[in-house]
Amino acid sequence: EVQLVESGGGLVQPGRSLRLSCAASGFTFDDYAMHWVRQAPGKGLEWVSGISWNSGSTGYADSVKGRFTISRDNAKNSLYLQMNSLRAEDTALYYCARRGLYRYSAFDIWGQGTMVTVSS
C-alpha cells in the first residue's frame, strides 16, 4: 500500500525549533518530488515547501523562507522539515504530499498530517 506517515509534531514555545519527518512506503521514494503543505485550524491549505527527487531543487513559501529547511534521505525513504524560529502563526496540521511522476502530475498521495502547536 502506498503510504505517507508524518511524525514529530507537538507543542513548542515561540522561537524554538522542531523537526518533522515523513516516512514513505509502497512506492519508489527516490523517483518522486515531495512537498509539505499545512493547514491552520479552520483555515485553508497553504503550500510550505517542496524538494526534487534528488534534492537538487528546493522551494519555500515566503512565510517560511529562511526559517524552514526541507530535506530528504532517499536511503531511508524519508522526508524532513526542519522548522526554526517558530511563530504562533506556524500552528497548523502539517501534511507531506507526493507529486506524481509526470510533467502535469499533481499531489496525488497525502499523509494524515502531524499537528504543530506554537504557544507559550
Those residues with Cβ within 8 angstroms of residue 118's Cβ, 6 or more apart along the chain or in another chain = 12, 13, 14, 86, 87, 88, 89, 90, 91
* Residue closer to other proteins, measured from CB, 75 or 106: 106
Query: For residues 119 and 12, what is the distance between their CA atoms, to the nearest angstrom?
Result: 6
Residues 95, 114, 116, 118: which binds other proteins (CB under 8 A)? Answer: 95
How big is the chain, counted in residues? 120
Per CB under 8 A, 60 contacts other proteins = yes
Q: How far is the CB of 59 from other proteins (least distance, A)?
A: 3
Per CB under 8 A, 72 contacts other proteins = no
Query: For residues 76 and 17, what is the distance between their CA atoms, to the nearest angstrom?
Result: 23
* Residue closer to other proteins, measured from CB, 12 or 72: 72
Residues 1, 66, 75, 104: which binds other proteins (CB under 8 A)? Answer: 104
Cβ distance 82 to 68 under 8 Å?
Answer: yes
> Using CB under 8 A as the criterion, which residues of the chain lie in contact with other proteins when the complex forms?
35, 37, 44-47, 50, 59-62, 95, 99-100, 104-108, 110-113
